[in-house]
C-alpha cells in the first residue's frame, strides 16, 4: 500500500444499531467505499493462524488486539487497492468498525483523514440486545446469541469506543437517530453527508 492518506467517513455506534445495514446502503452510493471490519474478520480463512485467535476473541465479546487488527485491516485494504476494487482517488472510505479506540485513532491518523463522523446514537440498551438476538437467529452469528456476551460488548463499546468521538473535532461529528426503518435512517445520514459530497 502506498503512503498516501485516505479520506474517510467514520460510521460509529454500539453493536446492533444498524451500522452494517447503513454501511451497505452507503457503500452503494457513488464515491463511497464501505469497509466493514466485521466482514473482514469473518472472511479470514480457517487455514490461517489468525483465524482461531480472532474467532475466540469474537466469541467472548472482546476486541481484537490493536496491532493485529490494524495489520489485518491494512492487508485487506491493500488487496482492495491492488484489485482495483477500491480507488482512493475517486472514493471516500466508509469506516465501519475501525478505529475502535484512541490508540487505533492515533495509529491510523497518518493513513486516514476522517472528514465526517456519523454517530448512530441509540439510548436504549434493551432495543439493541433484542436486535442482536434477532440477527443471531437470521444470520446464524454465534457472537450475537448470548445476552451476557452482548451486554459485555456494550460495556466495552462505552468504555473503549464511545470516547473516540472526542478525538475528532465536534464540527465534523453528526449525531443520527438510528431508530426507524433502514430507509429513514439512511435519509438522515445522507442529510449529514450531502454538504460534503
Q: What is the pLDDT of residue 1?
A: 54
The pTM score is: 0.84
* pLDDT, averaged across the chain: 88
pLDDT band at 143 (very low <50, low <70, confident <90, very high): low
Any long-range contacts for 57-65 (C-beta under 8 Å, 24+ apart)?
58/143, 59/142, 59/143, 59/149, 60/149, 60/152, 61/143, 61/149, 61/150, 61/152, 61/153, 61/156, 62/156, 63/100, 63/101, 63/156, 63/160
In the chain, % of residues over pLDDT 90: 58
Model pLDDT for residues 1-13, shown as the tens digit of each residue: 556 789 999 999 9
Name the architecture of domain 6-193: 3-Layer(aba) Sandwich (3.40)
pLDDT band at 130 (very low <50, low <70, confident <90, very high): confident
Q: What is the pLDDT of residue 195?
A: 64
Are 96 and 191 in contact by the 8 Å Cβ rule? The answer is no
Model pLDDT for residues 30-85, shown as the tens digit of each residue: 999 999 998 898 888 888 888 888 888 877 767 789 999 999 999 999 999 999 99
Amino acid at each position: 500500500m502506498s503512503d498516501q492518506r485516505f479520506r474517510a467517513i467514520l460510521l460509529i455506534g454500539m453493536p446492533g444499531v444498524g451500522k452494517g445495514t447503513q454501511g451497505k446502503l452507503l457503500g452503494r452510493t457513488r464515491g463511497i467505499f464501505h469497509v466493514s471490519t466485521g466482514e473482514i474478520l469473518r472472511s479470514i480463512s480457517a487455514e490461517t493462524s489468525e483465524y482461531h485467535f480472532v474467532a475466540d476473541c469474537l466469541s467472548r465479546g472482546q476486541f481484537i488486539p490493536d496491532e493485529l487488527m490494524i495489520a489485518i485491516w491494512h492487508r485487506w485494504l491493500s488487496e482492495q487497492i491492488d484489485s482495483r476494487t477500491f480507488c482512493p482517488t475517486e472514493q471516500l472510505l466508509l469506516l465501519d468498525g475501525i478505529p475502535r479506540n484512541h490508540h487505533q485513532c492515533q495509529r491510523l491518523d497518518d493513513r486516514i483523514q476522517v472528514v465526517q463522523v456519523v454517530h448512530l446514537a441509540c439510548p436504549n440498551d434493551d432495543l439493541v440486545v433484542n436486535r442482536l438476538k434477532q440477527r443471531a437467529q437470521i444470520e446464524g452469528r454465534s457472537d450475537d446469541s448470548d445476552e451476557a456476551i452482548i451486554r459485555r460488548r456494550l460495556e466495552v463499546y462505552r468504555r473503549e469506543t464511545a470516547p473516540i468521538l472526542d478525538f475528532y473535532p465536534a464540527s465534523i461529528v453528526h449525531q443520527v437517530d438510528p431508530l426507524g426503518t433502514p430507509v429513514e435512517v439512511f435519509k438522515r445520514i445522507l442529510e449529514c453527508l450531502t454538504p460534503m459530497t
